[in-house]
Each structure stands twice: as structure tokens, then as C-alpha cells.
Structure 1
Amino acid sequence: MKTVMKPIEVIASFKVDGMSTPLKFRIQEQDSPTIIKVEHVCFRSEDKLAGNKMITFQCQSTINGLLKVFELKFEPSTGKWFLFKI
């Protein structure tokens, strides 16, 4: 996987205990935005990136007929989401 660390817009569901799950996200491509539906979250982990707490989601989706695995990162302190690896 290639590290890209691009900021993205995410629609996520949150449980009562605060646990989040990404449902779909929009990434700005060169000409127009692309919306990708998250079909499956393989695993979720918590780690630190540059001293900031991050929640990492390894996900998979079918994009253009191919199964793609990617990682999304959520920074709880700022509420920002990133496409980390593709």
C-alpha cells in the first residue's frame, strides 16, 4: 500500500459509547470529487501519529469492479479524517 495522507470528508455512524464506523467518504480528485462506499471494516486500532491519538480503520470496497483495501485515519481531538493508505 502507498501512503497518501489526504484529508477527506466522511459520513460515519457513532455508537452511544463513542465508537465510530466510517460508512462512505468523498475524496477530491483532479477534476471532480469521488464518493466511495465502505463495504467492510476489517479491523480498527488506536495509535499515535506525530504525537496525536489516531484511530485507524482498515477497510475494503469494490471500486471500478476491483476489490481495494485502504486505510482511513480519524483524529478524535480535531474530528478530521484522512485517507492514509491505498
Structure 2
Amino acid sequence: MLALRPNCECCDRDLPPESPDARICTFECTFCADCVDTRLGGVCPNCGGDFAVRPIRPAAALARFPASTERVSKPHKACAA
């Protein structure tokens, strides 16, 4: 099950579970669409993979299987700009 991380690892923007702007790689590294497009060039700085739109968990399932509250931020060179 996806963790649904609450923020962009690059700019720390909030990405709630229902956000259409969340992007993930195959390792669930989580970034906002703006950082993926403008800073990262569509390539995950952690694994080198590409990104996909993060699925939105239906509200009924979210109540039973809540999103993660652990914020992840990593000092990527591309994010320092």
C-alpha cells in the first residue's frame, strides 16, 4: 500500500492525499508536479527513475488506511535553486 507522503521532498510543499499535483517514482519518492517539471527534469534524484501521478486513495479507504504524516525532505542539488 502506498504511504501517501504529505510533502514534496524538494520544496516541502504540502501534498495532501487528494492532491492531483503529487508525483511518485517506483520507490515512492514524492515530489510536487512543479519541482518534477522545473527542477528535476522528470528524473528522480534519488533513484534515477521517472515519475507518475500519485493515485488518489478514495475517502472511504483513506479513513481505514490513512496517509503518512512523516514529512521527508532531502538536500538535492537540483532543489537548492
Q: Same fold (TM over 0.5)?
A: no
> Which of the two has greater helix per residue?
2
Higher relative contact order structure (alpha carbons within 8 Å, sequence separation ≥ 6)? 2
> Which of the two has greater strand per residue?
1
* TM-score, length basis structure 1: 0.30
